Amino acid sequence: MNFGFEEEQELLRREIRKFLDEQCPMEEVRRLAQSSDGYSREQWKQLAELGWLGLMLPEAYGGAELTWVDAVVLLEETGRSLFPSPLISTTLAGSAIADLGSEDQKGRWLPGLADGSRIGTIAFLEDNDVLGPAGIQLRGRPRGDAFLLSGEKRLVADVEQADLWLVPFRVGDPEDAIAIAVVERDADGASGRPLPSIDRTKRTGTLQLDEVPVGPDALLGPPAGASLGLSRVLDRGALALCAEVIGAAEAALRITVEFAKQREQFGHPIGHFQGVKHPLAEMYVEVESLKSLLYYAAWAIDEDPEVAPAAISRAKAYAADAFTRIGIDGIQLHGGVGYTLEYDIQLYLKRSKWARSMYGDADYHYDRVARARGL
CB-based burial label for 142 (10 Å; 0-12, 13-18, 19+): exposed
Interaction residues for other proteins, span 82-101 (CB under 8 A): none
Nearer to other proteins, 285 or 337 (CB): 285
CB of 278 to other proteins, least distance (A): 4
- Can residue 1 be called a binding residue for other proteins (CB under 8 A)? yes
Number of CB atoms found within 10 A of residue 271's CB: 19
Amino acid at 203: R
- Can residue 318 be called a binding residue for other proteins (CB under 8 A)? yes
The Cα–Cα gap between 242 and 238 comes to 6
Interaction residues for other proteins, span 280-309 (CB under 8 A): 280-282, 284-285, 288-290, 292-293, 295-296, 298-300, 303-304
CB-based burial label for 124 (10 Å; 0-12, 13-18, 19+): buried
Binding mask 44-73 for other proteins (x = CB under 8 A): -------------------------x----
Nearer to other proteins, 217 or 363 (CB): 363
Find the binder of other proteins among 277, 324, 325, 357 (CB under 8 A).
Answer: 277
CB of 289 to other proteins, least distance (A): 4
Nearer to other proteins, 152 or 282 (CB): 282
Binding mask 234-263 for other proteins (x = CB under 8 A): -----------------------x--xx--
- Answer for the pair 214, 146: CB distance below 8 angstroms, yes or no: yes
The Cα–Cα gap between 171 and 249 comes to 41
Which residues partner with 149 through β-bridges? 140, 212
Which residues partner with 147 through β-bridges? 142, 214
Closest of 240, 264, 260 to residue 252, by C-alpha? 260
Interface size with other proteins, residues (CB under 8 A)? 49
Amino acid at 220: L
- Can residue 369 be called a binding residue for other proteins (CB under 8 A)? yes
Nearer to other proteins, 113 or 322 (CB): 322
Nearer to other proteins, 228 or 257 (CB): 257
Interaction residues for other proteins, span 29-48 (CB under 8 A): none
The Cα–Cα gap between 167 and 236 comes to 16
**List of residues 6+ apart from 63 with CB closer than 8 A:** 54, 55, 56, 57, 94, 98, 110, 114
Find the binder of other proteins among 269, 332, 344, 357 (CB under 8 A).
Answer: 269
List C-alpha distances in Å: 362 to 60, 240, 289, 296, 322: 38, 16, 16, 19, 10
Helix residue ranges, H only, 101-139: 103-114
H or E element in which residue 88 lies: helix 87-100
CB of 119 to other proteins, least distance (A): 29
Nearer to other proteins, 10 or 127 (CB): 10
- Can residue 130 be called a binding residue for other proteins (CB under 8 A)? no
- Can residue 343 be called a binding residue for other proteins (CB under 8 A)? no
- The contact set with other proteins (CB under 8 A) reads 1-6, 69, 257, 260-261, 268-269, 271-274, 276-278, 280-282, 284-285, 288-290, 292-293, 295-296, 298-300, 303-304, 311, 314, 317-318, 321, 362-363, 366-367, 369-370, 373, 375
